[in-house]
């Protein structure tokens, strides 16, 4: 599907950037600087997508078996931060298998929204304490000012209309509430060095964000970042094996500092 307008600012003007390692083409908006896939690949986020996949290095991944690794690497810092807060109502927006909420203290009132019926079934069977619905985030009908915390982890790079998504998340977040947004960082050192071989490109990632564009879409809807993290050094990915791969730009890029940007923000 061809994209005529920038998904963030709706400008018609863009520059061609590169083709990635799967031959997806990316452009960059001349007005706001957003990088996005054009033409856009259509992805079905059901059992075939979630059950088994092959990562950019050719490794077979069974996602349901990755709970402990996810809690240790992807979610650990955010879970510690939230569990130090006074318990309230929390939403995992785009919850996948629900691993993140399994690490949140049971005093919290836990909710999940997930587009995949396959994942919703998994969460309901494995985490019955989580109130789970299958719906698009932009269509979610929670009441205004419902949640104290919203967790939005590696979802915004998948959505068709980030404005509608962020607008609805802002609506259901309480004034002063916390939202944590995490996504690949297209302005990272590795992304700039490896271009189309940046490992966090690929068909499902239709919009690639950086600190400037991510801050812009949040501020449009009254959400203001106060803390930015680039998780890496306390993960399993911080290793000599991956560091040595930085020298070969002809191969898929390794995990590295700055690849992932996580922003903590509050609704004003």
d(Cα 113, Cα 135) in Å, to the nearest integer? 6
Q: What mean pLDDT do residues 23-33 have? A: 98
Q: What mean pLDDT do residues 238-266 have? A: 97
The pLDDT score that the predictor gives to residue 52 is 87
Half-sphere exposure of 252 (CA within 13 A, CB side): 13
Q: Which range has the worst mean pLDDT, 59-68, 87-96, 186-195, 240-249?
A: 59-68
pLDDT digits 0-9 by tens, 170-211: 999 999 999 999 999 999 999 999 999 999 999 999 999 999
d(Cα 55, Cα 78) in Å, to the nearest integer? 24
User: Is pLDDT above 90 for 220?
Assistant: yes
Q: What mean pLDDT do residues 111-128 have? A: 97
User: Is pLDDT above 90 for 48?
Assistant: no
Find, among 21, 17, 50, the residue nearest to 33 by Cα: 17
Q: What phi, psi does 126 have (nearest 5°)?
A: -105, -25
Report domain extents, the chain.
45-267
Q: What mean pLDDT do residues 150-161 have? A: 98
CATH topology of domain 45-267: Rossmann fold (3.40.50)
User: Is pLDDT above 90 for 58?
Assistant: no
Residue tagged 């920038």 (tokens):
6
In 3-state terms, what secondary structure has residue 134?
A: coil
The pLDDT score that the predictor gives to residue 98 is 98
Q: What mean pLDDT do residues 126-143 have? A: 97
The pLDDT score that the predictor gives to residue 215 is 98
pTM of the model: 0.96
Q: What phi, psi does 30 have (nearest 5°)?
A: -70, -25
């Amino acid at each position: 599907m061809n994209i005529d307008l920038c998904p963030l600012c709706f400008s018609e003007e863009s520059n061609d950037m590169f083709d990635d390692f799967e031959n997806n083409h990316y452009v960059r908006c001349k007005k706001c600087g957003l990088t996005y896939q054009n033409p856009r690949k259509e992805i079905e986020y059901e059992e075939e997508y979630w059950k088994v996949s092959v990562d950019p290095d050719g490794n077979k991944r069974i996602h349901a078996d990755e709970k402990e690794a996810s809690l240790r690497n992807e979610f650990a810092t955010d879970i510690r931060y939230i569990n130090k807060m006074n318990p309230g109502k929390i939403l995992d927006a785009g919850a996948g298998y629900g691993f993140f909420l399994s690490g949140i203290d049971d005093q919290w009132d836990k909710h999940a929204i997930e587009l995949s019926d396959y994942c919703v079934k998994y969460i309901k069977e494995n985490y019955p304490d989580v109130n789970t619905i299958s719906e698009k985030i932009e269509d979610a009908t929670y009441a205004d000012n419902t949640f104290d915390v919203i967790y939005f982890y590696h979802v915004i790079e998948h959505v068709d209309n980030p404005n509608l998504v962020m607008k609805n998340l802002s609506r259901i977040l309480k004034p002063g509430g916390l939202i944590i947004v995490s996504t690949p960082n297209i302005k990272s050192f590795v992304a700039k060095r490896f271009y189309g071989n940046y490992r966090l490109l690929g068909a499902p990632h239709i919009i690639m964000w950086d600190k400037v564009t991510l801050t812009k879409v949040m501020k449009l809807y009254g959400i203001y970042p106060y803390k930015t993290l680039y998780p890496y050094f306390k993960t399993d990915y911080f290793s000599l094996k991956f560091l040595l791969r930085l020298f070969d730009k002809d191969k898929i890029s390794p995990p590295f500092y700055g690849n992932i940007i996580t922003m903590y923000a509050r609704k004003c």
